[in-house]
Amino acid sequence: MAGKNFAWWQSGVIYQIYPRSFQDSNGDGVGDLPGILTRLDYLVALGVDAIWISPVMPSPMADFGYDVADYTGIDPVFGTLADFDRLVAAAHERGLYVILDYVPNHSSDRHPWFLESRASRSNPKRDWYIWCDPAPDGGPPNNWLSEFGGPAWTLDAVTGQYWYHAYLPEQPDLNWRNPQVRDAMLAVLRFWLDRGVDGFRVDAIHHLFEDGRLRDNPPNPDWKPGMSPARRVIRAHTMDQPEVQEAVAAMRRVADAYPGKRLLIGEAYLPIDRLMAYYGPGLSGFQLPFNFHLLSTPWEAGAIAALVARYEAALPPGAWPNWVLGNHDRSRLASRLGPAQARVAAMLLMTLRGTPTIYQGEEIGMTDVPIPPGRVQDPWERRVPGLGLGRDPVRTPMQWEAGAGAGFTTAAEPWLPLAEDWTSLNVAAQERDASSMLSLYRALLTLRRAEPALSAGAYGSVVVGAPDVLAYDRWDEATGRRLRIALNLGDGPQMLAGFAPGARVLLSSHLDERSGPIQGAMRLRPAEGVVLELPAGA
């Protein structure tokens, strides 16, 4: 058990569910809420504390739920509000917290607000979105680019103005400078908090405001062919604008008005110094601004140690850290690092100081699945093909068992193809295998729960003098109990020396018998990570 003074979201572990691909209950090839309900016991057995569910609100699915047409409903493909209420109740009965995805930056172009807004220049909701006259040549008002390719402006032929969209044209940006928009969007938070959700993961928060003067973004001298076309410019005027901070604080005030500790997580891909601003003055912002920096750091002991040091040092007083190694937008660990290092990565994620988020399927070591051209779903891949930007490969259905449909669906074809390896790489097979990735995650989560040093303790980097080894200590300030984590990020063996008598292995990522005292030194096998118990006072 973690220390008494820690909130659930500090000592706990978050598990991200991408609902379209988690569990289908009605045979339409798309996952749904009743499906999630049937898998809650799996998540309890895994040992996580909270589920974050990617968007389930009504949506034309231009961006698979990140284009919301009704902020206070459930899309029929996922079920009903009653299904949602049942899921929250069932999760709470099992001690699981429920975090919803909240998409404040943009709605769907089919949202009634946008339909009204675009109806005429004088419509009362015109100003709910960001409209602008064409440039003198009739083109877009400035050089802003859509994250998903092409200009960030689309012309509405009827009213003769362009609307702004950081993402797809089907995802018009809401105008948060309009107080009515702000009130309506804060009311959305209350709607779900009233239904008992424990928090939100707030989508694309760094995009919430753009420069009021609509100044051009400067060109990016580092852009090269092969990179996302959106990176041709530096987003100086379209990202991380000062006004966002007060909007985040307003969201936080709404959450804090509810009993229990409700959590706000912010999705912002920003440099560490800028990310820290999202904790807000006096920690009045997000409790957890997502820290994605491990995703872009080379898999090298020195680079990761330096990142952790920089991040820890930058945290404002009292701010709680967090770590992410995968999500529905990023390549899977086993594909990025290979299956052996993916196990080391699992140990890293579960033993760093701060709240970890596990993306569904990582716990069984799923890999990126090649998608045949005819099966591509992701609008990004469709608009900017061939650069490897598409996210379908990391969104394929969860592999539950070896039978038809992988236990995910009874449909002949799920919405995205199953990985070819599903008959061998699946939950059922790994439950029977004491050394599987799933067994490793369970062991790590069990250890984390049993050791306050891991779930809530202090962190200190350790120099062990072995190349490729990332080492650090975690200790419980209350009891002085100290653990050392040593991760071999290389493919050769490494020696760890200098252990005081009494040090012993608690867990090896190889999950074979390695317990017992260490006699002065120990050999780490290639791609092996260990959690060690150090003798008191060491």
Site of interaction with ligand NOJ (CB under 6 A): 63, 66, 103, 167, 203-204, 267, 328-329
Q: What is the DSSP letter of 129?
A: B
Cα 286 to Cα 203, 227, 283, 319, 322, distances in angstroms: 12, 31, 7, 10, 12
Nearer of residues 20 and 328 to ligand NOJ, judged by Cβ: 328
Q: How far is the CB of 55 from ligand NOJ (least distance, A)?
A: 8
Nearer of residues 166 and 347 to ligand NOJ, judged by Cβ: 166
Q: Could you say which of 32, 75, 109, 267 is catalytic?
A: 267
The three-state secondary structure class of 15 is strand
Contact 202, 267 (CB under 8 A): yes
Calculate ∠ Cα 311-316-317, nearest 5°.
120
203 as an active site residue: the answer is yes
Q: Could you say which of 63, 83, 198, 203 is catalytic?
A: 203
Cα 181 to Cα 151, 155, 242, 459, distances in angstroms: 24, 22, 18, 42
Nearer of residues 103 and 337 to ligand NOJ, judged by Cβ: 103
Q: Give the C-alpha separation, 474 to 173, whole Å.
A: 43
Write the burial class of residue 10 (CB in 10 Å: 0-12 exposed, 13-18 middle, 19+ buried).
Answer: buried
Q: Which of 136, 137, 173 is CA-nearest to residue 154?
A: 173
Q: How far is the CB of 252 from ligand NOJ (least distance, A)?
A: 20
Q: How far is the CB of 147 from ligand NOJ (least distance, A)?
A: 7
The three-state secondary structure class of 140 is coil
Q: How far is the CB of 481 from ligand NOJ (least distance, A)?
A: 38
Q: How far is the CB of 329 from ligand NOJ (least distance, A)?
A: 5
Which residues sit opposite 507 in a β-bridge? 531
Strand blocks (E) in 406-464: 458-462
Nearer of residues 247 and 438 to ligand NOJ, judged by Cβ: 247
DSSP per-residue letters across 483-533: EEEEEE-SSS-EEE--PPTT-EEEEETT-SS--SB--S-EEEPTT-EEEEE
Write the burial class of residue 250 (CB in 10 Å: 0-12 exposed, 13-18 middle, 19+ buried).
Answer: middle
Nearer of residues 17 and 486 to ligand NOJ, judged by Cβ: 17
Contact 230, 166 (CB under 8 A): no
Q: How far is the CB of 318 from ligand NOJ (least distance, A)?
A: 28
Nearer of residues 12 and 55 to ligand NOJ, judged by Cβ: 55
Active site residues: 203, 267
